[in-house]
Amino acid sequence: MRQNFDLHSHSNKSDGSFSPAELVEYAKKNSIKVLALTDHDTIDGIGEAVESGKKIGINVIAGVEVSVDFKPGSMHICGYNVDTDNSYLNDKLKSAQDSRKNRSGMIIDKLKSAGFYITPDEIKKVAGSGRISRSHFAQIMVEKGYVGTVEEAFDKYLAKGASCYVERVRLNIREAVKMIKEAGGKAVLAHPVQLKLESDEEYIRKFAELKEIGIEGIEAFSTYHSEEENQKFRQMAKELDLFVTGGSDFHGKIKPDVKLGVFGENVDVDIKELIKKLESGG
Ligand code: AMP
Ligand code: MN
Ligand code: MN
Ligand code: MN
């Protein structure tokens, strides 16, 4: 079922296919009233999205998504209501963006060894003004007929542990939380299933540890969760007194199966209350 809010979305400032203004217009068409733009490692799209939201009557929340060091899976943290002028935030994001640039050349080399030829110019063309992401490599591999789908590109070559994967320098969790808080924002753990922990007990322990570090909410409702997982993570978050959010991780055409506003069946999130929590000081 489609919700009237979505707290996880990407524009072409990272690896989404819509510009920030197009994304907000698309949200409007799909009856979304509250939209958070959470591009990877960049807040460049926020100004345009907020302005467009004001024009057409959508509450746009200034967000960002950062990947932090984690094993066995991946840990992504979303920051909400960040002050986009904050210099600490901007400096940290700049380092994350630099690490992406460095990695890009290394991925090109690895793909070449595997027989796939992608040039820096091709990457630049697809990424446009956005931050270079593995999704852009995947997209070009599909366009060139090297693989059938973006999923296949990740599974065989680009995913963690696959043959052309290249690590990049990431923030640690404490640095990420500090960065978000310095900018006045709220830190939320995105799509917990991607942590790939083995048991419910491990999830509960990890959530409690994250709360100690300063995480205030859990994206319990996510495209990547089964309905059972949605409800399980919701329950865990409630018990730990963490707030519950939901988001689709919309990327437009890059992830055509992900629909804006769709991230569960029984999404019992009171969006007005949640907005207050995301805005509250301290
Ligand atoms: P990067 O930030 O460059 O490391 O790329 C990570 C992005 O690639 C994620 O935000 C997703 O959008 C995308 N991604 C990662 N794993 C997969 C996958 N298995 N299938 C499709 N997209 C993926
Ligand atoms: Mn992405
Ligand atoms: Mn993510
Ligand atoms: Mn995302």
Handedness of CA 71, 74, 80, 85 (dihedral sign): positive
Q: Distance, CA 39 to ligand 3 centroid (Å)?
A: 9
Residue nearest atom 19 of ligand 1, based on CA coordinates: 154
Question: Can you give the pLDDT at residue 129?
Answer: 80
Alpha-carbon gap, residue 278 to 80, rounded angstroms? 7
Give pLDDT < 70 ranges for the chain: 281-282
**What's the predicted TM-score (pTM) here?**
0.95
Tell me, using a 6 A CB cutoff, whether residue 154 lines ligand 1.
yes
Angle subtended at Cα 2 by Cα 74 and Cα 5, rounded to the nearest 5 degrees: 70
User: How close is the Cα of 242 to the center of ligand 4, in Å?
Assistant: 20
Helical H runs in 46-172?
46-56, 87-113, 120-127, 134-143, 150-153
Report angle CA 138, 132, 71 to the nearest 5 degrees. 75
**Separation of alpha carbons 165 and 110, rounded Å:** 8
pLDDT tens column, 93-120 = 999 999 998 999 999 999 999 999 999 9
Provide the 3-class DSSP secondary structure of residue 134: helix
Cβ(44) – ligand 1 distance below 6 Å: no
pLDDT for the residue 56: 98
Q: What's the pLDDT score for residue 280?
A: 87
DSSP label at residue 110:
H
For atom 13 of ligand 1, which residue has the closest CA? Answer: 135
Q: Measured from the CB, is residue 159 less than 6 Å from ligand 1?
A: yes
Q: 40 CB under 6 A from ligand 1?
A: yes
Paired tokens of 139: 């997209």
Burial class of residue 87 in the structure, from the number of CB atoms within 10 Å of its CB (0-12 exposed, 13-18 middle, 19+ buried): exposed
Length of the chain: 282
Chain-centroid distance, C-alpha 17: 14
Angle in degrees, 0-180, between the axes of helices 120-127 and 134-143, rounded to the nearest 10 = 110
**What is the CA(225)–ligand 1 centre distance, in A?**
16
Output b/e per residue, 119-134; b: 16+ Cβ within 10 A. eeebbeebbeebbbbb
Indicate whether residue 133 lines ligand 1 (CB < 6 A): yes
Measured distance CA(231)–CA(265) in Å, rounded: 10
* Alpha-carbon radius of gyration of the chain: 18
> What one-character DSSP code corresponds to residue 262?
B
22 CB near ligand 1 (under 6 Å)? no
Q: Which residues surround ligand 3, an ion (CB under 5 A)?
A: 76, 190
Q: Return the beta strands (E) in 148-242 as ranges.
A: 186-189, 217-222
The 8 Å CB, 24+ separation contacts for 87-91 are 88/179, 88/182, 88/183, 89/43, 89/64, 89/179, 89/180, 89/182, 89/183, 90/43
| Mutation pick for ligand 1 pocket among 151, 154, 193 (CB with most ligand atoms within 8 Å) | 154
